[in-house]
Amino acid sequence: MNIFGGMRISASGLSAERMRMDVISSNVANVKTTRTEDGGAYKRKVATFAENYDKKLGMLGVKTVSIEEDKSPLRKLYDPNHPDADAQGYVEYPNVDLLVEMSDLIAASRAYESNVDTLNAQKSMISKALEIGR
């Protein structure tokens, strides 16, 4: 691994966690969306990551593989006056749980902070190594 390999790995982690936070914020923003362009209620989305190995650089990192819809069922609430109610008076609401989203957001922000700290430590080590040659 070259001198900047660790920085590239941390940068890929930063990018992945930023994507995860974007997906979570989209879920929170649509917690009450009962009608989308595709029809039906909004479906929770989840970012999926995988190891990224570059043969040329010989290093690992993280990459976003996909952003998929959560397969859990939508919530149904009885509200016959709602414009999106079905014939029985039930409205389908997104399968977004704010407690789950907030805990995921905290985990993503902590992982982001860890990558920033690692990046800063690597930058400091490189700077100290350059000072040795003076």
Q: What are 4-45's pLDDT values in tens digits?
A: 888 888 999 999 999 999 999 999 999 999 999 888 899 999
Predicted pLDDT at 129: 86
- Give the amino acid at 90: Y
Which pLDDT value is given to residue 60?
83
Contact 122, 45 (CB under 8 A): no
Mean of per-residue pLDDT scores for the chain:
91
Backbone angles phi, psi at 45, to 5 degrees: -115, 150
- Give the pLDDT confidence of 56-100 residue by residue, as tens digits: 777 788 989 999 999 999 999 999 999 999 999 999 999 999 999
What is the CA 5 to chain-centroid distance, rounded? 23
Contact 20, 77 (CB under 8 A): no
State residue 1's pLDDT score. 54
Task: With cut-offs at 50, 70 and 90, classify the pLDDT of residue 120.
Answer: very high
Predicted TM-score (pTM) above 0.95: no
Q: Please tell me the distance from the alpha carbon of residue 19 to that of residue 25, in angstroms, as a whole number.
A: 10
What are the tokens at 63? 């990459």
